[in-house]
Structure 1
């Protein structure tokens, strides 16, 4: 991911480029790296695989126990943790209170290990090493129209007109409150569930909402423009709230959204992940009865869950969720490594802490990250590796190890 939020293939990175760091600040590319080495495909338990060389440094989190454990044989409380170098330590205490104080004070920083170092760990410790994604903050910029209304239209609007279909009174009330600020009026159409958003002055070019849709290339082409995708947290929360109000359904403390348009589905996942939510796309088939016949089509089901969903400024009270109580970290995932043999890699050197963000918001290190296959979630900014030695790829049992989530 580039510093402006756009996605670029790794082989297209040049010296002087600025890419997105894990703390939402730019990293400057100071030099490029090319070479051949043992290659591995990293398979997250949730998300899309990517390919790295054996020397590549992975950014990981250690899945520790949720509470100190009492060892009856020793008559003491123990805390297990992992330091930044990947070394696992077990510390004993006389009382549970001492153990809890110690555990609470442990640093939460990432662990940076090369693929080769990771393979040298015991299976038990490898299984506790988790990859992770992160939220990103973008600078606030002016938007052409109310982001919640744009999101609502993306979900339930006519693709070529400033018309929204809804049966929900709370949505209509929110639309009516929005009109004064943006010099528009909401007018019901002959269908009682369809509403036009019109300009206050009935003259040519006098509809600010339609003008905004046209200016951003949205008419006949539903997608999320970059001015909304890469904006302040408040703007992105409001946009996603509009989409969920129109097209989302509550599901196990999170949301499901079903979209026909693959590009729009990928944009929704991008916005959700940028806000720090876990989000994934799954192809699905859905059908309905129409004109006496049952018809099926291919769709994309988007799942969104995680901490902070209660912050969404939803208009529909029935879709609001309570703060998440689940202990499991939604942005962490288990890993499985698949050996690919010798291949070409592309990489670069960056400044700062040398950690940056892939197109799916995975945090990784700058050393020779290479190509990732194109994905339904907007891509990871990379593609498949070249020049792999096929004689080595045909080995049996390509799975080197697996860490469960």
Structure 2
């Protein structure tokens, strides 16, 4: 059982162990939605522990809560089978379900170096359906990284970033206000089709949908020569309009890219909206690529880093990274900012063999540097401590997938239903 305040990711956002109910959906270790089929009442007086992982995540669980862990023996067995060292290419020791109390007793190996024993394999990338977004994911990621907070503008010295934004269907217009700054706009809407004047028959392109004559000389006679024109309607909502494609309300919410940034809540408030964090894997990878192409770097050792002074954006990017099956660590340091809130830099670090940059020069640097150090241990978290604590209220659920696993905490750590 887990503490009631333990965050649990869902296909649409988050819940907690205290709030989840039978019939609700959580996420399994395979990244797929899984349904809660049973839940206990709140339990008191249970022996409890803080389980700390190598990425800094801490989860409060009772002594009987179960985890699927690899041990040093199973890791060595898997490695030996992979390369044929055991002569049979078959694994002898495997991951097993163990309780918190059992992990506490065998936290370190009974060897002279007392190295850590238990590890938990990362969850798979979340498998969720495509969503329709007002702002394309890559463009949003690039704007969150290097965009002007209060406007649909981006500063990018690398033309490849602008090319990828334009590939999203967004028009990037160079701005005269600063070098490398671009105004981001939606492509022009479909123009009114040419029509013939109802009076003289001349072909013309109307400015608005209800115009039926070519000019003033014909306008006064139109009402005597044609039926009344239907009231113009908005192509988006169907409501009355002034003859333009969109009514005033729709134009102010989706008619420009800046309006769309305002509608999704990020204009002047940079963060990743929840619906983007629960988009499909391809959409989330495009969003991450936009963020990393603008504000991401590759360390000497081949790890990927993203640094920002916006705490909320840092938390959202961390969630985005772990939703793709990566282990992410966050560090902070003091910097010279304009205010106290902007004087702390949050640096997110993760390692992967996957291509996470769309920008070619960064993708090449990532590939070359990670080849030197390797990423063999990036697919799991080690349990670094299991500390007894005072008993807290806990609760347990059962899910309906074959592995009986679900994800817990903001780091989306796989755990077993007890």
| Structures share fold, TM-score greater than 0.5 | yes
Q: Is the 8 A contact 2:141 2:288 kept in 1?
A: yes
Specify whether residues 159 and 333 from structure 1 end up closer, same or farther in structure 2 by C-alpha distance, changes over 3 A only.
same
Q: Is the 8 A contact 2:128 2:280 kept in 1?
A: yes
Q: Following the alignment from structure 2 to structure 1, what is the Cα–Cα distance between the partners of residues 292 and 183?
A: 20
Q: Following the alignment from structure 1 to structure 2, what is the Cα–Cα distance between the partners of residues 213 and 23?
A: 33
Q: Deviations over 1:45-89 (max 9, x none)?
A: 22221111000111212235887xxxxxxxxxxxx579xxxxxxx
Tell me which residue corresponds to 1:312. Answer: 356
Q: Deviations over 1:211-232 (max 9, x none)?
A: 3312211111111122321112
Counterparts in 2 of 1:16-31, with a 5 A limit? 16-31=23-38
Tell me which residue corresponds to 1:256. Answer: 305
Tell me which residue corresponds to 1:167. Answer: 157
Q: Is the 8 A contact 1:253 1:305 kept in 2?
A: no
Q: Following the alignment from structure 2 to structure 1, what is the Cα–Cα distance between the partners of residues 83 and 289?
A: 42
Q: Following the alignment from structure 1 to structure 2, what is the Cα–Cα distance between the partners of residues 12 and 239?
A: 30
Tell me which residue corresponds to 2:269. Answer: 221
The alignment status of 1:149 with 2:136, answered yes or no, reads no
Q: Following the alignment from structure 1 to structure 2, what is the Cα–Cα distance between the partners of residues 240 and 258?
A: 13
Between 260-269 and 250-259, the greater mean CA deviation after superposition: 250-259
Q: Is the 8 A contact 1:166 1:194 kept in 2?
A: yes
Aligned residue for 1:278, secondary structure, equals coil
Q: Following the alignment from structure 2 to structure 1, what is the Cα–Cα distance between the partners of residues 120 and 16?
A: 21
Aligned residue for 1:357, secondary structure, equals strand
1:101 Cα shift?
5.1
Aligned residue for 1:8, secondary structure, equals strand
Q: Deviations over 1:239-260 (max 9, x none)?
A: 1111111111221312222212
The alignment status of 1:129 with 2:132, answered yes or no, reads no
Aligned residue for 1:243, secondary structure, equals helix
The alignment status of 1:6 with 2:13, answered yes or no, reads yes
Q: Following the alignment from structure 1 to structure 2, what is the Cα–Cα distance between the partners of residues 260 and 50?
A: 26
Specify whether residues 212 and 297 from structure 1 end up closer, same or farther in structure 2 by C-alpha distance, changes over 3 A only.
closer
Q: Is the 8 A contact 2:161 2:293 kept in 1?
A: yes
The partner residue of 2:53 within 44, 55, 59 is: 44
Q: Following the alignment from structure 1 to structure 2, what is the Cα–Cα distance between the partners of residues 344 and 189?
A: 60
Specify whether residues 225 and 108 from structure 1 end up closer, same or farther in structure 2 by C-alpha distance, changes over 3 A only.
farther
Count of equivalent residues: 335
Q: Following the alignment from structure 1 to structure 2, what is the Cα–Cα distance between the partners of residues 174 and 111?
A: 45
Between 31-40 and 324-333, the greater mean CA deviation after superposition: 324-333
Counterparts in 2 of 1:176-255, with a 5 A limit? 176-178=166-168, 181-182=169-170, 184-201=171-188, 205=251, 207-251=255-299, 252-255=301-304
Q: Deviations over 1:326-348 (max 9, x none)?
A: 25321322221101144432222
Tell me which residue corresponds to 1:303. Answer: 348
Q: Is the 8 A contact 1:161 1:219 kept in 2?
A: yes
Q: Is the 8 A contact 1:249 1:319 kept in 2?
A: no
Tell me which residue corresponds to 2:335. Answer: 286
The alignment status of 1:349 with 2:414, answered yes or no, reads no
Q: Following the alignment from structure 1 to structure 2, what is the Cα–Cα distance between the partners of residues 141 and 332?
A: 29
Aligned residue for 2:85, secondary structure, equals helix
Q: Following the alignment from structure 1 to structure 2, what is the Cα–Cα distance between the partners of residues 282 and 43?
A: 16
Specify whether residues 273 and 2 from structure 1 end up closer, same or farther in structure 2 by C-alpha distance, changes over 3 A only.
closer
Q: Deviations over 1:284-336 (max 9, x none)?
A: 11127x9xxx9995323233332234x22522524541174425321322221
Tell me which residue corresponds to 1:99. Answer: 85
Q: Is the 8 A contact 1:354 1:366 kept in 2?
A: yes
Q: Which has the larger radius of gyration?
A: 2
Tell me which residue corresponds to 2:412. Answer: 361
Tell me which residue corresponds to 2:63. Answer: 54
Q: Following the alignment from structure 2 to structure 1, what is the Cα–Cα distance between the partners of residues 152 and 382?
A: 44
Aligned residue for 1:153, secondary structure, equals helix
Q: TM-score, normalised by structure 2?
A: 0.71
Between 116-125 and 235-244, the greater mean CA deviation after superposition: 116-125
Q: Following the alignment from structure 2 to structure 1, what is the Cα–Cα distance between the partners of residues 328 and 27?
A: 20
- Structure with greater strand share of residues: 1
Q: Is the 8 A contact 1:17 1:28 kept in 2?
A: yes
Q: Is the 8 A contact 1:154 1:243 kept in 2?
A: yes
Q: Following the alignment from structure 1 to structure 2, what is the Cα–Cα distance between the partners of residues 163 and 98?
A: 56
Specify whether residues 116 and 271 from structure 1 end up closer, same or farther in structure 2 by C-alpha distance, changes over 3 A only.
same
Tell me which residue corresponds to 2:321. Answer: 272
For structure 1, the 5+ residue unaligned runs are 68-79, 83-89, 368-405
1:43 Cα shift?
1.3
1:123 Cα shift?
4.1
For structure 2, the 5+ residue unaligned runs are 1-7, 190-243
Between 295-304 and 248-257, the greater mean CA deviation after superposition: 295-304
